[in-house]
Amino acid sequence: MKIRTTVICFVLPLAFLSGCKKSSTPETSEAKPAASSPAPAAPAQAASAPAAAPGGADAGASTEAAAKMAAADWAMKQDEIKNDPNGEWAFQVTASSVYNDAQGTAAYSANQAAGAPNVDAYGDNGAAWAPKTPDGGIEWLDLKYPKPVYATEVRVRESCGSGAVIKVEVFDEKGGAHSVWQGNDPTKELNYLMVKFPKTAFKTDRVKVTLATNVVPGWNEIDAVQLVGTDQ
């Protein structure tokens, strides 16, 4: 089954190319709640910040205003994605490997990629999944969702070492894998890799995200993965 895809990546106003390092005392967020049906919201759209005007103090003020507008717009879009009525978050996740062999809901465990996003800043955070070693090569997350849908999009929330995803697959009712995207991940900073594709001819409640962790130096962490689709 060949599926044409479109990849969209929201980019923060300031993007860095450096890898992501683990700190001796990693930042953590509150545990994610169980996945639930999101409230209706307007669909997300791309945004662009207004250009700064040239010249002295006015230029500085315009740059600051533009940065604030871009940050506010980015925050609104994150909220729209979180509350997309056609989106759902995983309730069960397995991984190729886990940092420190974490189990259950421990920091960096596979289950940290379940539920809605709860990492609020780019960088090492135990509230996201991390593989056993950095730069080790191929790693993956296999995610299950509450409701089978005819899928149209997968959104991968990357929170550390962004840009390492190389393939996204969905599975049909018989367990057959269908690649909906494979390529070069453009994601920078705390953001989504957004993979759009024509509606699947089958219902799916399972997504697999594959990373090449050696592509982006340092640790690569995934906060959450949203499956988007409809009943019909």
Residue type, 8: I
Residue spans per domain, the chain: 43-83, 87-230
CA distance linking residue 179 with residue 166, whole number of Å: 11
Residue 55 confidence (pLDDT) = 54
Query: Looking at residues 103-110, what average pLDDT do you find?
Result: 97
Q: What's the half-sphere exposure (Cβ side, CA atoms, 13 Å) at 24?
A: 0
Mean pLDDT of the chain: 84
Query: Looking at residues 28-34, what average pLDDT do you find?
Result: 47
Residue 27 confidence (pLDDT) = 57
CB within 8 Å of 63: residues ≥ 6 apart: 52
Query: Looking at residues 96-119, what average pLDDT do you find?
Result: 97
Share of the chain above pLDDT 70, in %: 77
Give 19-47 as a DSSP string: -B---SS-B--PPPPPP-PPPP-PPP---
Reported as a single tens digit per residue, the pLDDT across 172-219 is 999 999 999 999 999 999 999 999 999 999 999 999 999 999 999 999
pLDDT band at 17 (very low <50, low <70, confident <90, very high): very low
3-state SS assignment for residue 113: helix
User: What pTM did the predictor assign?
Assistant: 0.79
Query: Looking at residues 112-129, what average pLDDT do you find?
Result: 97
Q: Is 87-230 CATH 3.40.50.720?
A: no
Taking a C-beta distance cutoff of 8 angstroms, is the pair 108, 161 a contact? no
CA distance linking residue 209 with residue 199, whole number of Å: 18
Start-to-end CA distance of the chain, whole Å, equals 19
